[in-house]
Amino acid sequence: MSQLDSVLAQIDANLDRSIEKLFTFIRFKSISTDPDFKEECKKAADWIVGELNGIGIDAKAHETPGHPMVVAHDSDTSEKAGPSVLFYAHYDVQPIDPIELWERDPFDPQIIERNGVKVIFGRGSSDDKGQMLTFIEACRAYKEVHGSLPIAVSLLLEGEEESGSPSLLPFLNAHKDELSRDLALVCDTAMFDSETPSITTMLRGLVGEEVTIIAANRDLHSGSYGGPAANPIRILSHILADLHDETGRVQIPDFYEGVEELTPDVKAQWDALPFDDKEFLADVGLSIPAGETGYSVYEQLNARPTCEFNGITGGYTGAGFKTVIPSKASVKISCRLVGKQDPYKIRENLRAFVKARLPEDCEVVFAEHGAGPGHSLSADFPPLKKGAAALKDEWNKDTIMMGMGGSIPIVGEFKSILGMDSMLVGFALENDNIHSPNEKYDLQSYHKGIRSWARILDALAKD
């Protein structure tokens, strides 16, 4: 039996024990955004520390202004092959509201059957406690069988991800030397479907901006001032209309600087996926794609930048009718970014775009709402190739190199602060109900997730 085979056998033999550990973990009500659960967050962090120390990975819970940050390093400091890695996950969970929509107590985990599939039920089962333990349990199996891990492993487990990670940036800056490794491993993502292993190689970045146009010094009667008085709603409407051309391309200067086309291999892989454009839109009552022409809906969602309007206010919006020309109007804009787009340059160019279309006797006020670059891994990145091959061995299916329309800020911060690329491997599914009532994690996702990490650790250690 090879070293890997014996570890996989250990994982299989101790699956029931691993499930019980996950159940214990889920029972901690570690809701980070609610101060009433501060002690539960601490208990969850302390439990993780105890589990890691128990398998020979030295762990400590560091106090922060918010919830503890768990940092751990393998106590075996002998020379190891392959890259050193920092595994990241989070132990905090979303609130459970509305509680009346849960089928049972969200913090009383159980295995139930849903549509013929065994699932682990409970808040945090998928996001992110189950995902976290897939890695820790793989490490446990290696330690129990061989007494050591095949590569140098450290862990960073935070307790504020679901509440904006306010302590994370200061912590990363203060612990740069301790945390910086060759590669970050992140397990907070999903598979394409329940049988298709996936590595997320592209994440979209974000620029959030609020734009307020101010005209007259007070609201005006539309009968007395309509016509000669500048109307900020009309001005704002013209500006927003100018932000896209008839093909859906964004017109902010240099907006597409740093945007890269898909490689032929990835495009062919995506085109072969069983993703139905019509079904995707029909689920939300639509039928006609409205994005950039020339790109599939899946490509628009995962690999193309966007500029969207998330909310507009101005004038009288209450019940009934009021004939008023408002003194100001505002819009909230979010730009999703890909590749090497510079979020700060895009913000600057968006502001210049707005100012260039503003009448001389009006003014504009801008408010920032976050900014961060996108993330992409080259198809030639050696750990990516090894990870994909390891996942294929476990799932008996080619690994999909996925894009993800949302953003995971920690990935950009690992790059900018710690100088690390990140490989994102997750086993969640679209129907896991994360952030919603009745969250679950497929038992297969948990079991094969543990086995998958064992294979990845083994693959990274080899030339």
CATH of the domain at 76: 3.40.630.10
Closest by Cα among 214, 210, 209 to 359: 214
Q: What is the pLDDT of residue 377?
A: 87
Q: Which residues lie across from 332 on neighbouring strands?
A: 210, 311
**CB-based contact 426:118 (threshold 8 Å):** no
**CB-based contact 176:418 (threshold 8 Å):** yes
| pLDDT at residue 1 greater than cutoff 90 | no
- Reported as a single tens digit per residue, the pLDDT across 82-135 is 999 999 999 999 999 999 999 999 999 999 999 999 999 999 999 999 999 999
Q: Which residues lie across from 424 on neighbouring strands?
A: 186, 200
Last residue of a domain, one of 342, 372, 402: 372
| pLDDT at residue 214 greater than cutoff 90 | yes
Q: Which residues lie across from 371 on neighbouring strands?
A: 207
pLDDT band at residue 13 under the 50/70/90 scheme? very high
Render 280-332 in DSSP notation, one character per residue. HHHTTT--S--S-TTS-HHHHHHHS-EEEEEEEEES--SSS---EE-SEEEEE
Residues 152 and 52 in one domain: yes
Does residue 138 fall inside a structural domain? yes
Q: What is the pLDDT of residue 375?
A: 85
Does residue 54 fall inside a structural domain? yes
Mean pLDDT over all residues of the chain?
95
Specify the CATH number for the domain of residue 330. Answer: 3.30.70.360
What six digits make up the tokens of 347? 């913000």
Q: What is the pLDDT of residue 77?
A: 87
Place of tokens 């001389």: 360
Does residue 164 fall inside a structural domain? yes
Q: What is the pLDDT of residue 253?
A: 98
What six digits make up the tokens of 286? 């639509």
In percent, the amount of the chain with pLDDT more than 70 equals 100
Residues 65 and 127 in one domain: yes
Q: What is the pLDDT of residue 234?
A: 97
Residues 24 and 80 in one domain: yes
pLDDT band at residue 406 under the 50/70/90 scheme? confident
Last residue of a domain, one of 372, 396, 412: 372
Residues 192 and 240 in one domain: no
Does residue 286 fall inside a structural domain? no
- Total domain count for the chain? 2
Q: What is the pLDDT of residue 380?
A: 86
Report the distance separating Cα 10 and Cα 162, nearest Å.
33
| pLDDT at residue 397 greater than cutoff 90 | yes
Q: In the structure, how many helices (H) and strands (E) does the chain have?
A: 15, 18
User: For residue 255, what are the CA distances in angstroms to 111, 267, 293, 354, 376?
Assistant: 48, 22, 17, 14, 18
Q: Which residues lie across from 28 on neighbouring strands?
A: none
Report the distance separating Cα 367 and Cα 315, nearest Å.
20
C-alpha 362 chain-centroid distance: 39
**CB-based contact 374:341 (threshold 8 Å):** yes
Q: How many CA atoms lie within 13 A of 198 on its CB side?
A: 26
Residues 439 and 311 in one domain: no
Does residue 366 fall inside a structural domain? yes
Residues 119 and 190 in one domain: yes
For the CA atoms of 417, 419, 421, 426, the dihedral, rounded to the nearest 10 degrees, stands at: -40
Closest by Cα among 11, 2, 1 to 454: 11
Report the distance separating Cα 159 and Cα 396, nearest Å.
35
Residues 333 and 381 in one domain: no
- Reported as a single tens digit per residue, the pLDDT across 26-76 is 999 999 999 999 999 999 999 999 999 999 999 999 999 999 999 999 999
Q: Which residues lie across from 365 on neighbouring strands?
A: 212
Does residue 297 fall inside a structural domain? no
Residues 136 and 243 in one domain: no
Helix (H, G, I), strand (E, B) or coil at 72: strand
**CB-based contact 262:403 (threshold 8 Å):** no
Q: What average pLDDT does the segment 166-192 reach?
A: 96
Q: Which residues lie across from 70 on neighbouring strands?
A: 61, 157
Residues 313 and 409 in one domain: no
In percent, the amount of the chain with pLDDT more than 90 equals 90
Q: What average pLDDT does the segment 282-305 reach?
A: 94
Q: What is the pLDDT of residue 80?
A: 92
Identify the DSSP state of 262: P
- Domain assignment of residue 234, given as a range: 205-259+305-372
Q: What is the pLDDT of residue 25?
A: 98
Closest by Cα among 304, 367, 333, 341 to 239: 333
Q: What average pLDDT does the segment 413-418 reach?
A: 92
**CB-based contact 113:119 (threshold 8 Å):** yes
Q: How many beta carbons lie within 10 A of that of residue 51, not counting itself?
A: 19
Does residue 272 fall inside a structural domain? no
pLDDT band at residue 18 under the 50/70/90 scheme? very high
Report the distance separating Cα 231 and Cα 228, nearest Å.
9
Last residue of a domain, one of 354, 372, 390: 372
Q: What is the pLDDT of residue 293?
A: 96
End-to-end CA distance of the chain: 21
Report the distance separating Cα 381 and Cα 26, nearest Å.
35
Residues 72 and 141 in one domain: yes
Residues 432 and 449 in one domain: yes
Does residue 58 fall inside a structural domain? yes
Residues 84 and 153 in one domain: yes
- Reported as a single tens digit per residue, the pLDDT across 342-378 is 999 999 999 999 999 999 999 999 999 988 888 888 8
